[in-house]
Structure 1
Amino acid sequence: MGLLGARADAPIPGLCPGCALIHIPLFVDAVSPSARVDDLAAAIEGAVAAGARVINLSLAILGGDSQINPRLAAALEAAEASGAVLLVAAGNQGRRVTGQLLSHPAVIPVVAADAAQILLPDSNFGPEITRRGVAALGRMAGYAPDGGTTVMSGTSVAAAVATGILAQLWSERPDIDADTLRSAVAALGPRDGAKPPMLDRNRVLAELDRMVGADGEARTNDTRLQGAMTMTTGNGRSPTSAVGGLLSRSMQIVRPAGGDCGCGAPDGACSCGGHHDTLSGFVYAIGTIEADYPNIAIEREMQLIANHLSVGAEIERDGSTKLTEDRNWQHAVLSKDRKLTRYIARQLRWRLTIEDFPVFLLNPNDPGYFDDLIDALARPKYPAKAESRRGKSAAKQAIPIAEHAGLAEDLDVVVGVVGPRTPDGIVISLDQIFQVDRNQLIPDGLKYFPQIADSHGLTDEDRAYNFLFARYRPPLGEIDDYKFMGMRIVPSRLGSDTGRIVRAIYTFRNPAAGEREFFVRVDVTHEFPMIVSPWQPYLERGGRL
C-alpha cells in the first residue's frame, strides 16, 4: 500500500499517490500465511463491487496448475465484465508455470526483473506470461510493517510496481477502456524469450496513441486483445459443466508470492535461510537414476510381468536388497521385451538420487527417454568390491550399505526444467539424459572434482559446476607440477546486460612457485549452458564481480 499510495513528499514516494486505494484483507499475519482459492475469489468480487479498476494480486496459487476453481472463474469473468484490469505476480519458485489465474484474459501476469532488466533467477516464467505479461522492477526500497523502510524483492513487488504504473497512466487517460489498456500492454515487445517486455509508461502511452489517439478516437486499424469471457478446462468445457464440477480443488491454496526466498519449502516456511536467490528454473544435475514403485499394485504387476518373461532366478543381486528393488532385476525385467514392458516402465517412479539422497522425480518429455532410463539401471550403483566374497566373482558383488556409504557412482546427467516440489521430490521436466564416466569427472587424477560437483544443480552456480565436469576437460598441460586446490564460480560483468554469465576460476598450487589460477566463462542464461570464452590465466582485479 505504501509503495502505491505514499505521498509525493514521503521518504519513498508512491507510484500513484493520487489514486483512491481499496484494501481488502486476504491474508493474516502468520509464519506461513495462506488462504483458500474461494477466499481469493470473494476478495476479487469485493474489489469489483467497490468499483476497483486496477486490482493488484501480489500472490500465487500453489497446487495443480491444471485445476479450475469455478468460483474464481466467475470472479475473474465478473472483473473483466466490469472493465477491471488485474495484475498478478508470477510467483517465486523459479519454474515454468501456467494456471487458471495467469491465463485469464482479464489478467496481466508480472515477472520480476533487476535494474539491468534481467529476469530475477527465482521469478517464475511460462508461455502465457511471455505472450501477455510484463516484467517490472522486482527489487526496490519500500515500507516495513513497523513504519520504517526496507528492501523488498520478488514478483509481489514487481506486481505492485506494474499496478502503480498502469494506475497512474490510466488516470491520465480515463477515456480508454480495460480491453484497450490490456491490448496496448500486449503490443509491447519483444516477446520471444522467457522474459516478457519491461513495462514502460512511455511505451504504453505511445501504443495507446497509435491505437486510440490522444483525442480518444479509435484508429481504424485498431488491434485489440481478444479472449473468451468464460474459463474452460483442458477439454474445452466450462468448469460449471459435469466435467468441470468434478475438478478437485482440495490441493489449491493461495499464498503471498513471496520476497527474497524462492526455495519453495512446504507450507511456504523458508528452509534455506534466504540463500536460494539464484534459482534458475532449470536443472543440470549429476546423480544416479533409480526406479521405485508409487504403490503396491505397480510392484505386484512388475512381479507378474517378470514371471511371464521368466526373469528371476538367474539374476545376480545383492542379498540385502529386496528382489523387486534390485537394479539388476529391474533392468532384466524391463529390457527383456521392451515393447511388452513399456507400459510398466511408464508406471514406475523414476528418480535421480545424488550421493544417495533422492532429490528429483523425472518426467520425460520424449517417450524414447524410457529406454535411456532403463539402460541406466544396468550399471552398478556402487563400485564392485576388490576381493571376492563367498567364492563369487568380484565383478558381480555389490558392497553392503554399511561399507559403500558415500561411494555411489554418480554417472547420469539430467537436464531439464524445474517443476513443482512434491513430498516425493522436485519434479523435473526432462529434456536430456546422458552418461558420464567417473574418470571424466576426475581428469588427470584431480580427485576432488566429484566433491565440487556435489549439488542439486538448481542454481546458476551449481549448473555451471556440473556442466563443466560433464562436458569440459581443462587443458592442464601448463600446470603439470601444480596440485589442483579447488574452483569457485563468480558472476561476470559481461552478463549484466546480455544474460547470466559466470566465471569458473580454477586454483592450482605448487609449494615452490605458489598459486596459479585459470578461468573460463560460462553462459547459464538458458537451459543448456555454454562456454563463451576459452581457458585463460585469471587476474584478480580487486573484486569478486
Structure 2
Amino acid sequence: MDTPEANEQPATQTGPDTGPAVGTSPTSRSATPFSPQACANCDGAAGIDTNDPEAAASYIYALGRVEARFPRPSVEKEFAQATGRADTNGQTDREAFHAVLSQRENRYLVRQLCWVLTIQGLETYLLQPRDPVDYDSLVEATRPAPSPLDIDAVIGLRGPLAPPEMCNGLMIPIVAFDQIYSFDREALIGAIPRPEKTAAKEFKAAAEELFDRVMQLTDNAGATDDHRALNYLAMRYPAIYTTVADAYARNASLTGVEVRPSRLSGTRKIVNVICSFTSRNNDFTEKFFVRVDVTEEFPFLVNKMSPYYDR
C-alpha cells in the first residue's frame, strides 16, 4: 500500500510562480477582486456573493478552446452590418470575424457575444471577464488563423448555470475569469528549457506526450483540485517535462500520473502529484512527485520535483 510518510517532511514553500505561462504570450491582466455592478459583494459576471458562507468558491484552471457564439439573431444581424462597413476584402471568414471584433468601435458587439470554453470538443463554460478590460483577451483568443493545436488556459471562479436566454439555450456554468493565456502547443513545447544531454527531437516527443496526456484525462474540466494542479504543472512547471524525458532516456515508460492529498495540508490544501515510471527492461517502477498548493484561485509550487518512496 502506497503511503506518503517517507516524503511528508515539513516543506519550505517556494512561493507562487508569478511568471507567464511557459511558451505563451499572456493576454491576461490583473482584475479587480469583484465587479460592483450587481451588488456590493457580488461578482457581476458570475453572480457569486463573496460574503455568503453558503456560496463556497469553486476555482477553475482549465485548458480548452475559446469560441464566440451569437446569443440571438439580432446580434448576428448587427454583426453582419458591422462587417459590411469594414474593409475585409480578401480576408477569410475567420480573419474578417477577428478584424471586426478588434475594431474599437465594435466593442459593443464583443460584450453582446457569448464566449464559450470548449474542452475536448464539449461546451463546458460560459466566460465573462471580472474586469471589462479583459474583453480584449477574448478577442485575441478568437485568432484570425486558428489551428487544431491552439489552446486557451482560463483561470477564474465558477458561478451558477447560465439561464437559457443568456446564450441561445446553452445552460452550462458561468466562469468569471481573471486570466486567459492563448497559445499553441508548439509554442508551449518550444519554450520549455531542454536539458543539454537530451536531444531536441526526443525531448519534444516526450513533452508533447505528457501534455496530451494531461489534456485528455477523463473529465478534466479544470474544476477539481487534482485537475487544477495537473493543468498548472503542465502550463507553468518545466521540470515535469524534463523528468519524463529523463525517464524515456533510461528506457522507462510513464505508467501513471496520480494526485493524492498531502498530509502537510493543515489549513492549506496541498496535493502530491506523483509520476510513476516503469523500466521496459526489468519492470522496476520508480516514482517522482511534486507538491502543489491549490487552496486558492492561483495554484503554486510548494516543493520541486523529487523522488517518491512508498512505505
**Is the TM value for this pair above 0.5?**
yes
Say whether 1:505 aligns with 2:274.
Answer: yes
> Given the alignment, which residue of 173, 179, 193 partners 1:426?
173
SS in 2 for 1:359: strand
Say whether 1:309 aligns with 2:86.
Answer: yes
Say whether 1:417 aligns with 2:157.
Answer: yes
Give me the TM-score of the superposition, normalised by structure 2.
0.69
How far the C-alpha of 1:382 sits from its partner, in A, is 3.7
Which whole-Å CA distance do the structure 1 matches of 2:99 and 2:146 have between them?
Answer: 15
> Percent identity, aligned pairs only?
33
> Given the alignment, which residue of 292, 317, 339 partners 2:69?
292
Counterpart in the other structure of 2:223: 458
SS in 2 for 1:290: strand
Which whole-Å CA distance do the structure 2 matches of 1:378 and 1:348 have between them?
Answer: 16
Counterpart in the other structure of 2:51: 127
Which whole-Å CA distance do the structure 1 matches of 2:297 and 2:171 have between them?
Answer: 24
Which whole-Å CA distance do the structure 2 matches of 1:378 and 1:284 have between them?
Answer: 21
Give me the TM-score of the superposition, normalised by structure 1.
0.41
> Given the alignment, which residue of 303, 320, 328 partners 2:95?
328
Counterpart in the other structure of 1:471: 236
SS in 2 for 1:462: helix
Q: Which runs of 5+ in 2 are unaligned?
A: 1-37, 40-45, 163-169, 193-202
How far the C-alpha of 1:510 sits from its partner, in A, is 2.3
Give the alignment of 1:514-529 within 5 angstroms. 514-529=284-299
Amino acid at match of 2:100: V
> Given the alignment, which residue of 351, 357, 363 partners 2:128?
363
Say whether 1:376 aligns with 2:146.
Answer: no
Which whole-Å CA distance do the structure 2 matches of 1:484 and 1:463 have between them?
Answer: 20
Which stretch shows the higher mean deviation, 465-474 or 439-448?
A: 439-448
Which whole-Å CA distance do the structure 1 matches of 2:213 and 2:144 have between them?
Answer: 21
Amino acid at match of 1:360: Y
Aligned residue pairs: how many? 237
How far the C-alpha of 1:380 sits from its partner, in A, is 4.4
How far the C-alpha of 1:314 sits from its partner, in A, is 1.5
Structure with the higher strand share, 1 or 2: 2
SS in 2 for 1:488: strand
Which whole-Å CA distance do the structure 1 matches of 2:296 and 2:84 have between them?
Answer: 46
Moved over 4 A (4+): none
What RMSD over aligned residues (CA atoms) do the two structures have, in Å?
Answer: 2.5
Contact 2:276 2:287 in 1 (8 A): yes
Which whole-Å CA distance do the structure 1 matches of 2:95 and 2:132 have between them?
Answer: 22
Give the alignment of 1:245-256 within 5 angstroms. none
Which whole-Å CA distance do the structure 1 matches of 2:276 and 2:183 have between them?
Answer: 24
Q: Which runs of 5+ in 1 are unaligned?
A: 1-65, 68-94, 99-125, 130-154, 156-193, 196-279, 318-326, 384-408
How far the C-alpha of 1:472 sits from its partner, in A, is 1.1
Counterpart in the other structure of 1:270: none
Contact 2:98 2:144 in 1 (8 A): no
Which whole-Å CA distance do the structure 2 matches of 1:376 and 1:531 have between them?
Answer: 27
